[in-house]
Structure formats: C-alpha cells, structure tokens
Amino acid sequence: MIPPLIGFIAKAKILLTVIDNGFYFVAIIIILTSVISAAYYLKIIKVIHFDSLLISNIQISNQIILSSALSFIIATITLCIILFLINPITLLNYVHLLSLSLCHL
C-alpha cells in the first residue's frame, strides 16, 4: 500500500496490533504478502507509464465519454465512500446485522 492512502493506514494499524499481541508469524505473513502485492502494483505502473511509450503506431484518444448512467453510478459510489469516511458506524452496524442474519444467529 502507498503511505498516504487509507489502505496503508489500516494495514499499518493491523500490523501494529498483531505485533503488540505477539502474533509474530501472522506479522511476517502480512509483510510478505504486502511485498508480493507491491511487486504486482509496480509492474502495472511500469506498463502504464513506460511501456505505452513503445507503441507509436496506435493513436490514443484522450477524450473519454461517460454515459449518464455510468456517471450516476460513479457519483453514488463516491458519495457512499465519503459518507463511510464521515460516519462509518452506520454502515458497520448494517453489515453486522446482515452478517448475523446470514449466519442465523
């Protein structure tokens, strides 16, 4: 995970909690999977930024046209993410109730 993003903060807190509770094997697994995933992420970045320069015969259009339905879906998902960042307890309560109902508890 990239340090300024939310995924990094969550993974860092989980890693610190695991180490504080003495689960060192789990901490090693977390670190190894992070390194492996970082290799894949860097490969994607390399292909996007550096390998696209090798393709000179293909004309790439910079204009992206979004339909109104796709724009609505993107706006709705963005609003849900913002609301989750502001007030996560509501969504977490709904997910908790859903998981209890799925498990018949």
Domain boundary assignment for the chain: 1-56, 63-105
The model's pTM is 0.45
pLDDT tens string, the chain, 105 residues long: the values are 555 677 788 888 889 999 999 889 989 999 999 889 888 888 888 887 777 555 555 555 666 778 889 899 999 999 988 988 898 898 889 889 988 888 876
Per-residue CA distances from 74 to 14, 41, 67, 84 (Å): 29, 23, 11, 15
| pLDDT computed for residue 11 by the predictor | 85
| pLDDT computed for residue 61 by the predictor | 60
| pLDDT computed for residue 29 by the predictor | 92
